[in-house]
Amino acid sequence: MARSRRETVILYAVVITVVVILVFPLYWMFNTSLAPATQLRRFPPVFVQPEPTFAAYERIFNERPVGVWLRNSAVVAVASTALSMFVSVLAGYSISRIRARGSQAIGLFFLMSRMLPSTLIIIPLFVSFRQLQLIGDLKSLVLAHATFITPFAVWMLKGYFDTIPAELEDAAMIDGCTPLSALLRVVLPLSAPGLAATTLYGFVLSWNDFVFARTFLVANQNAWTVNVGVASLKGEYLTEWNEIMAGSLIAMLPIVLAYLFLERFLVSGLTAGSSK
């Protein structure tokens, strides 16, 4: 499609400006993470570290089991997202396709489950997990995270499934497909971007959790997720910001990786869109 040069320039200028504003604090973090300890409390702050050093990173990696934290977070995020996606794809699809009145009640059932704030269910959940001997175990987090990912995921997936014309499955089912195989063969491939976005959403909810992780995991720092670990870098009185910034940036890396992995599915649609 034709687009004037002027339009393109304006578009890119706007996008770049927005992005610079959005990204500046990230740069600031990176800049701080490179500061030598003696420069942290210097005034005025500098845009570019005159003597950048990776000492903060080295220190964190040498002194803390960052690799273990990252692995724990990844295990929990992947497992809880997978669990949630499994139940949510099935539930979301059937809510989207059931034409009887009952589907609304079921939708409401999932919706209602979000109603209670976590402050109220955290004690009962803790007591249950304690009885199941799960406290201190990553499994407790997988379950806890899946409980709050699932309602969201059901909703989001139902929304994406709604955009896929039911005629396609009807045709497949006339050809002898069961609803399950219609879902697997027809609907899921078509809703790849939606699945990717929902997976990402769930992954992120799990990755970002701090409250449940702090409650259900115990002292041994080898059992921590990266959020709990990074929070522990902040001392009570003294705060070495270069280490906190370095820790936060390290904690973000897997998210970038998860995104880059899922992005091809998001982009599969995007590419199709851009051919307009």
Partner 1 sequence: MNKKFPYNTSDLKPSRRDFLRLSGAGLAAAMLARYGMPPAFAQMAGDIPAELHPGSPNNPRGWTTTLPPIPDGMPVDPPVTITGSRRGPWEFAEGDDIENSPFTRLNAAVTGIHWKLAFNWTDNEAEVLQKYNLAIASNELPDFMETVPLQIYSDLLENDLLEDITDVWEEVAHPVWLKEAMGFGDGVAWQYAEVNGRKMGIPYIEQAAQNDKLLWIRQDWLDAVGMSAPTTIEELHAVMTAFVEADMGQGGAGTTLGIAANSQLNAWYCSLDPIFGAWGVIPAFWTPDENGDLRYDSIRPEIKEVLGTLRQWYAEGLLAQDFFTYAPWQNGSHIGGNLAGLMYTPAFAPDFGLPDSVANDPDARWVFGDIPVGPTGIKKKAWSNPVPETVYCFRKGFEHVDLVLKQIAWWAELLQDPKNRHHGFEGTRYFWRNEDGELDPMGGTLDLNGYDDTKHIWGPPGTNGGSRTSPFYELDLIKERRNVWANLPENERDAYMEAFLGGDALSVLWDEAIIFAVDHWEADGIKNHFVTVPTRTMELTGAALEGLEQEVFLNIIIGQDPLDRFDSFVDEWHSGGGDRITGEVNEWWHGQM
Partner 2 sequence: MTLQQYLRRAWPLYVMIVPGIVFVLLFRYYPMYGVVIAFQDFSPAKGFLNSPWIGWANFEFFFSLPYFGRIFGNTLIISVSKIVLDQVGAIILALLLNEARHLFFRRSIQTLIYLPHFLSWIVLGGILLDILSVRGILNQGLGLIGIESQLFLGSNDWFRGTVIASGFWKNVGFSTIVYLAALTAINPVLHEAAAIDGAGRFRRIWHITLPGIRPTIVLLAALSLGDVLQAGFEQILTLYNPAVYRTGDIIDTYVYRTGLISAQYSLAGAVGLFKSFIGFILIVISYWLADRYAGYRIL
Specify the residue, 2 or 48, whose C-beta has the smaller distance to partner 1.
48
Task: Choose between 161 and 223: whose C-beta lies nearer to partner 2.
Answer: 161
Question: Using an 8 Å Cβ cutoff, are 199 and 192 in contact?
Answer: no
Least distance to partner 1 from the beta carbon of 49, Å? 15
Helix (H) / strand (E) containing 70: helix 66-97
The count of other CB atoms within 10 Å of the CB of residue 114 is 13
Q: What angle do CA 54, 56, 58 make, to 5 degrees?
A: 70
Rounded to a whole number of angstroms, the minimum distance from the CB of residue 14 to partner 1 is: 32
Looking at the Cβ atoms of 130 and 185, the one nearer to partner 1 is: 130
CB of 47 to partner 1, least distance (A): 16
**Nearest distance from residue 193's CB to partner 1, in Å?**
39
Of residues 16 and 218, the one with the C-beta less far from partner 1 = 218
Q: Scan for tokens 């002194």, then name that residue.
A: 63
- Owner of token pair 């050809």: 175
- Choose among partner 1, partner 2, none what residue 144 binds, the Cβ cut-off being 5 to 8 Å by kind: partner 2
Output the six-digit token pair for 42. 């210097």
When the beta carbons of 77 and 223 are compared against partner 2, the nearer one is 77
Whether the Cβ atoms of residue 209 and residue 227 lie closer than 8 Å to each other: yes
| Partner in contact with 25, chosen from partner 1, partner 2, none, beta carbon below 5 to 8 Å by kind | partner 2
- Write down the least CB distance from residue 210 to partner 2, Å: 7
Describe the crossing of helices 192-208 and 66-97 by its angle, rounded to 10 degrees.
Answer: 140
Applying CB under 8 A, which of residues 130, 178, 189, 208 lies at the interface with partner 1?
Answer: 130
Q: Rule CB under 8 A: is residue 215 a binding residue for partner 1?
A: yes
Asked if 40 touches partner 1 (CB under 8 A), the answer is yes
Contact between 133 and partner 1 by CB under 8 A: the answer reads no
How many residues in the chain?
A: 276
* Cβ neighbours, 10 Å, residue 196: 20
166 binds partner 1 (CB under 8 A): no
Of 3, 5, 6, 38, the residue at the interface with partner 1 (CB under 8 A) is 38
C-alpha distance from residue 263 to each of 20, 156, 188, 255 (Å):
22, 18, 16, 12
Query: What is the C-alpha to C-alpha distance for residues 253 and 213, in angstroms, rounded to an integer?
Result: 19
Q: Which does 274 bind (CB under 5 to 8 A by kind): partner 2, partner 1, none?
A: partner 2
Closer to partner 1 by Cβ: residue 51 or 167: 51
- The interface with partner 1 within residues 230-259 (CB under 8 A) comprises 231-232, 235-239
The residue (of 167 and 236) whose beta carbon lies closer to partner 1 is 236
Residues 6+ apart with CB under 8 A from 132: 140
Angle between helix 138-162 and 192-208 (nearest 10): 150
In Å, how far from its chain's centre is CA 55? Answer: 29
Positions touching partner 1 (CB under 8 A) are 38, 40-44, 59, 63-64, 123, 126-127, 130, 214-215, 218-221, 231-232, 235-239
